[in-house]
Structure 1
Amino acid sequence: MQYLQKVCLLFVACSAVISDVSKGKIYNELILTGFFLGAVCQVMDQGVCGILWFLGGLTAPVVLMWPLYYFRMIGAGDIKLFCSLGSILGIPGIFWCMFYSLLIGGGMAAVMVIKRGNLLKRLGYLKCYLERMADRHGWEPYRKKEDRDGEFYFSVPVLISVLFAIGGIY
């Protein structure tokens, strides 16, 4: 991984965490900046063919994360962040980034549930959701906007996953 690519990844991921934690959202200006940086990195590394790596890395998260967004298990900002990082990492890199982010995020969620002491409440919420889906045979979001109990900043595990990439783990 090139030095410029590492700096760009770190800039986008750290900025996303700061924005997410302080303002509760990841701004489109940051995402667009990441797209620009991704295009520059890919073209510098791959030449004109880098545009294909850029587009592939940008598109793959939308395709793969759509089901999680559809059920409101992750937010649009999270997908846009993955797209931005994918434009820098390319297709194989963003697959690993998403894999580690979900793994780390799951671990963080488990720790949070234990720390908050609301495991039974969260399991009850899941049970009620599954029962509603079975009864209605229709779709509704998993998480309601007013349900803040199960929420955390997914940009943090994404940053940790980016640090794995920079450190050469993937």
Structure 2
Amino acid sequence: MEIIILVFVLFICLFTDIKSRKILNIITLPTIVFGLIYNIFNTGVDGFLFSGKGFLVGLGLLIIPYMLGGMGAGDVKLMAAIGALMGTSFVFYSFIYTALIGGVIALLLIIKQRGFINSIKSLFFNVVFFRSSLGSMILPNGDKKSSISFPYGVAIVLGALSCLVWGGF
């Protein structure tokens, strides 16, 4: 049952994030509540702890990137909802898949926007000269207008679906 709800929520969030770059509270908040109630109903106090820990881990994994301006609150709430529904282990492995998929998407977008050779030169320069920030690859000359962004909910959805298909490591 929870897998069906998860897949349904993921596809709705994928659609809304691509269409409007928003993950809606009307989807994530009821999912959090449902995950909590469903797990309490099935296993009582253990279900509450299972769901509560999953919620906190999901929230905790993305709260710092959100606070630094790297992603929206909807992304954080979606990861928390995944945790509340599926538990700590699932949300953690989903996060690993999400980070890998998000990194690949970001790399492809950088290469597309700046060209492959410029991206390799920039990466080489940053590594050789031990620059503390690889941000110059994304924000050349500090120009925010040329920054690369994408709806990170796509990576979260693909990460959670990957975890459903392949499980943990």
String of CA shifts for 1:47-103, please: whole Å, max 9, x gaps.
Answer: 331011111111112223222112111221110110111111111111111111011
TM superposition score normalised by structure 2: 0.78
Partner Cα distance (2:9, 2:146) in 1: 26
Q: What letter is aligned with 2:35?
A: G
In structure 2, the residue matched to 1:169 is 167
Structure 1 residue 30: deviation in Å? 0.4
Partner Cα distance (1:116, 1:13) in 2: 28
In structure 2, the residue matched to 1:37 is 34
Partner Cα distance (2:141, 2:70) in 1: 15
Structure 1 residue 109: deviation in Å? 0.5
CA 1:94–1:127 in 2, change beyond 3 Å: closer, same or farther?
Answer: farther
Indicate the RMSD between aligned Cα atoms, in angstroms.
2.4
Partner Cα distance (2:51, 2:146) in 1: 35
Partner Cα distance (1:126, 1:86) in 2: 36
Aligned residues: 151
CA 1:148–1:64 in 2, change beyond 3 Å: closer, same or farther?
Answer: same
Query: After superposition, where does 1:5-84 map in structure 2 within 5 Å?
Result: 5-84=2-81
In structure 2, the residue matched to 1:136 is none
Task: Pick the aligned partner of 1:111 from 91, 102, 108.
Answer: 108
Verify the 8 A CA contact 1:12 1:30 in the aligned structure 2.
yes
Task: Pick the aligned partner of 1:155 from 153, 156, 159.
Answer: 153
TM superposition score normalised by structure 1: 0.77
In structure 2, stretches of 5+ residues that fail to align are: 123-134
Partner Cα distance (1:37, 1:101) in 2: 23
The ranges of structure 1 where at least 4 consecutive aligned residues each deviate by more than 6 angstroms after the TM superposition are none
Partner Cα distance (1:117, 1:148) in 2: 10
CA 1:55–1:127 in 2, change beyond 3 Å: closer, same or farther?
Answer: farther
Higher relative contact order (CA 8 A, sep 6+): 1
Task: Pick the aligned partner of 1:125 from 124, 136, 139.
Answer: 139
